């Protein structure tokens, strides 16, 4: 059947255009047109502006009926620092992330693959991003046909914040967690300490446990980033386990925002894990490890520590994360003012 569409939205309707992609199974909806540009002298000010004045776009694109509970997105902005080529704000079901590794990988892939950044027949294309957590230096690695094979990025300094924090959970009793920062703060522990396994069949139980841990940590600990108060909150919980591929290091699930599940290994999460393993003497600098997500060996990031530094009182590491993303669609979403449910909802 051949249908002819008239390229006009209904009277009074507006449109927002996006590029959709996924990194290791985790979606990214990139807003490329249709909303005003958030203003601010810094990327954190732009983030606050979007929270206060443009949140309708997040709800309409991330929530149902256009998105879903685990949808993720981003908005490109001009950079606010001279070292960066673009600024970026990340969106999820609860609000706005401070950094996002899977989002960096998908965004860089889209920028190069869609011709926004000209590869000029290079095999490596560097692109620097101004994120709310700091400058992130990414590189698109291209094959001989100029397709993006993978993206690597040098993340913000990552560090162990608190080691062996004891908490009590209603269902699981007394447990011990570590808190580490990799662009966001995470509570980290092996799933086996809860009698669970990082497998898709136990996702609902892992989510319940992750949310309970987050609530208990917030009741026991006030988190303060030494340099920026806007980063001073617990973003999620990471539960770890053995990998599907025995040659890989481990597998993890990240539960973040409002009980959202990352399908990828989580770029900021594995950065926090690198800092944790290094601080405990379990991982030397330059040694590459492969970390899987709950989806198993098909969803994996290559991770290594490339340098060391200091963030306030905390010894810190500089992580490099690498992964692969694919474009899944180009969208022009229509917003009819008569459509109340189209403004966004979650079940």
**Cis amide leading into 65 (omega within 30):** yes
Alpha-carbon distance of 146 to 320, in angstroms, equals 23
**C-alpha span between 240 and 251 (Å, rounded):** 6
Give the angle 130-83-306 at the CA atoms, nearest 5°.
Answer: 80
Has 74 been annotated as catalytic?
no
Contact 149, 141 (CB under 8 A): yes
Question: Using CA atoms, how far apart are residues 63 and 344, in angstroms rounded to an integer?
Answer: 5
Can you tell me the distance from the alpha carbon of 317 to that of 159, in angstroms, rounded to the nearest whole number? 6
3-state secondary structure of 57: helix
Which residues have a Cβ under 8 Å from the Cβ of 6 and sit 6 or more positions away?
A: none
Give the rounded distance of the alpha carbon of 24 from its chain centre. 12
Instruction: Single out the catalytic residue among 74, 100, 163, 303.
Output: 100
**Structural tokens at position 173:** 């009793």
Taking alpha carbons only, the member of 327, 277, 321, 266 closest to residue 299 is: 266
CA distances 301 to 112, 208, 267, Å, are 20, 25, 8
- Catalytic positions, please? 100
């Amino acid at each position: 059947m051949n249908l002819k569409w008239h390229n006009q939205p209904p009277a009074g309707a507006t449109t927002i255009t996006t590029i959709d992609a996924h990194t290791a199974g985790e979606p990214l909806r990139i807003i490329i047109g249709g909303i005003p540009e958030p203003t601010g002298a810094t990327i954190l000010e732009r983030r606050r502006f979007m929270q206060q004045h443009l949140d309708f776009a997040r709800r309409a694109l991330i929530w149902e009926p256009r998105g879903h509970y685990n949808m993720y997105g981003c908005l490109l902005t001009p950079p606010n620092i001279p070292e960066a080529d673009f600024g970026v704000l990340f969106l999820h079901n609860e609000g706005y992330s401070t950094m996002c590794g899977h989002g960096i990988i998908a965004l860089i892939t889209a920028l190069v693959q869609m011709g926004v950044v000209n590869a000029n027949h290079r095999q490596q294309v560097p692109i620097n991003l101004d994120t709310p957590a700091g400058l992130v230096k990414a590189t698109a690695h291209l094959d001989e046909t100029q397709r993006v094979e993978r993206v690597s990025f040098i993340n913000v300094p990552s560090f162990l914040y608190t080691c062996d924090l004891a908490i009590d959970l209603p269902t699981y009793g007394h447990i011990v967690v570590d808190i580490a920062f990799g662009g966001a703060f995470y509570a980290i522990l092996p799933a086996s300490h809860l009698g669970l396994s990082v497998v898709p069949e136990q996702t609902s139980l892992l989510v319940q446990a992750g949310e309970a841990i987050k609530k208990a940590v917030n009741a026991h600990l006030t988190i303060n980033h030494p340099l920026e108060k806007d980063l001073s909150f617990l973003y999620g919980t990471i539960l770890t386990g053995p990998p599907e591929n025995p040659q890989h290091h481990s597998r993890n699930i990240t539960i973040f925002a409002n009980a959202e599940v990352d399908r990828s290994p989580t770029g900021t999460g594995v950065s926090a894990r690198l800092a944790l393993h290094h601080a405990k003497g379990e991982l030397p600098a330059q040694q590459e490890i492969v970390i899987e997500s709950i989806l198993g060996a098909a969803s994996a990031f290559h991770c290594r520590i490339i340098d060391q530094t200091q963030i306030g009182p905390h010894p810190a590491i500089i992580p490099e994360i690498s992964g692969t993303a694919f474009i899944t669609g180009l969208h022009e979403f229509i917003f009819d003012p008569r459509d109340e449910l189209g403004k966004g909802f979650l079940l």
